[in-house]
Amino acid sequence: MSQRDNSYAAVMARSNEIMKASVGMDYDDYVISPIAFDYERMMHDTGYTHAEIVKIQSETKVGNTPLFELKRLTEAVRKISEPGKGARILLKDEAANASGSFKARRAALSVFEAARKGFKGVVAATSGNYGAAVASQANQRDLKCIVIQEVFDSRGVGQPEIIEKGRKCEAYGAEVIKLTVGPELFYIHLLTLEQTGFFNASLYTPFGIRGVETLGTEIAEEVRIRYGKDPDAVIITHAGGGNLTGTARGLLAAGADKTRIVACSVDLSGLHMASDTDFNKKSFTTGHTGFGVPFATWPDRADVPRNAARSMRYMDEYQLVTQGEVFFVTELLTKLEGIERGPAGNTSLTAAITMARQMDRDQIVVVQETEYTGAGKHHNSQLSFARENGIKVYVGDPAENVPGKTIVLPERLDQVRGKAQDLESLKLSYLRNAARRHPVQAWTDEDISFLAQDIKSTPEWVRANLPTD
């Protein structure tokens, strides 16, 4: 019997076959064209009702997390705002989930599905928080867990946050395969799935995204009960898009269709996330533009044939903040509100401060997640690592921040300003990416309708902005 070819090219060529076997879903069933597919039918075919997902998550210590009103921080924002401005800031404390982040919601349904289908274990490729969530859930469902993690640059140097998250995965009993940055991540992921026969607990399957929907419904229901209205805006840290997609779908399912969905990422413009030299010039492993922009402008770059995380379908605004602003707000949350949470989870809190200053006092802005902190995830560890890698860290005006060269910590709260990302440019970039996979001349009305939905636009806008190069 001939041995299967496990070369990079051969394994990549078998990717669809491997994915079908490891998820139990035939993505080909939903395909309309090289760029269009039946998204809502794919999500529906997970087969779970909202009530069933809530029950599944409650069995493994996930969901029903606290919603705090940040009264002292809100008051501090009002002091630097114009009269009548300064929205009420609420915080959904997702660190209360098993494993310490909202990703427990994604993992809970994926791991349940793996157990239901009779898989003996689960595999996840992740920088770490999701891996810890999958491992935590796998323990509670008596499944094995393998986490594949990009940890090191070519010098063998790993970021403190990634090392800390790997430690947490191992604490939950997962086998952690640690890689250097580069293209081998997807290859090793596919090879591991094929050799083990385990379930692909990808961040980007419909099961993972449906699991996050409970976060959106909880926010809508809790704000209504407490304040008698829907939140005016929900700010969501954006990387691969699952956090935003799932939360927005949950808000819509709860009828909160007037709530503004605001994405937020740390601005790491100019740093390439697949670059060995740039890898350790950032102090955030996720929640930054290195993931946020590429995944917004082409979701199907993921490790599944069709990504269920499609952020631009739901995104109304996209805010960018600097690393220094996030570190400052992390310290402020600890000092004013008495809760210490990891900087990556405070990305959206940083944008909430900027937005609250522009909103009326009777309005409500919700920060929809926090995450746990720990030795390597603490902002002081990340700042020390930045200095060791030649990044200049100083207190001043964060407008001077240059990703990969400087981290500027604000002196005062009124210097936390952030800036808006141009959504139209992202939509145009999305269309150019679509044209590379399927020539514009071949686009049908059905393709154009799909593209319009995928970027929260109209068919008329798409036709008026067809790529020409």
Would you say how long the chain is, in residues? 469
- For the entire predicted model, the pTM comes to 0.95
Q: How far is CA 128 from CA 137, 149, 156, 343, in A?
A: 14, 7, 18, 15
Task: Work out the burial of residue 67: count CB atoms within 10 Å of its CB; fewer than 13 is exposed, 13-18 middle, 19 or more buried.
Answer: middle
pLDDT tens digit sequence for 419-457: 999 999 999 999 999 999 999 999 999 999 999 999 999
Tell me what the mean pLDDT of segment 148-160 comes to.
85
278, pLDDT greater than 80: no
pLDDT in the model for residue 244? 97
Tell me what the mean pLDDT of segment 315-335 comes to.
96
pLDDT in the model for residue 382? 87
Q: Mean pLDDT in the chain?
A: 93
pLDDT in the model for residue 337? 97
pLDDT in the model for residue 269? 87
**SS3 label, residue 260:** strand
pLDDT tens digit sequence for 221-254: 999 999 999 999 999 999 999 999 999 999 999 9
The residue to which tokens 């068919």 are assigned: 459
Task: Read off the DSSP letter of residue 201.
Answer: -
Tell me what the mean pLDDT of segment 58-69 comes to.
98
Specify the higher pLDDT residue, 6 or 272: 6
pLDDT tens digit sequence for 164-190: 888 999 999 999 999 888 778 889 999
The residue to which tokens 């379930």 are assigned: 199
2, pLDDT greater than 60: no
274, pLDDT greater than 80: no
pLDDT tens digit sequence for 380-410: 888 998 898 899 999 999 999 999 899 999 9
303, pLDDT greater than 90: no
What band does 78 get if pLDDT is binned at 50, 70 and 90? very high
What band does 288 get if pLDDT is binned at 50, 70 and 90? confident
What band does 154 get if pLDDT is binned at 50, 70 and 90? confident
pLDDT in the model for residue 272? 75
1, pLDDT greater than 50: no
Angle between the 423-437 and 289-297 helix axes, to the nearest 10 degrees? 60
Residue range 71-95+228-420, CATH number: 3.40.50.1100
> Which of 266-270, 271-275, 388-392 is the least confident region?
271-275
Range 262-297 burial, b when 16+ CB lie within 10 A, else e: bbbbbbbeebebeeeebbbbbbbbbbbbbbbbbbbb
What band does 285 get if pLDDT is binned at 50, 70 and 90? confident
> Which of 58-67, 85-94, 172-181 is the least confident region?
172-181
The tokens for 270 are 């100019």
The residue to which tokens 């903040």 are assigned: 321
Beta strands of 208-270 (E only): which ranges?
Answer: 233-237, 260-266
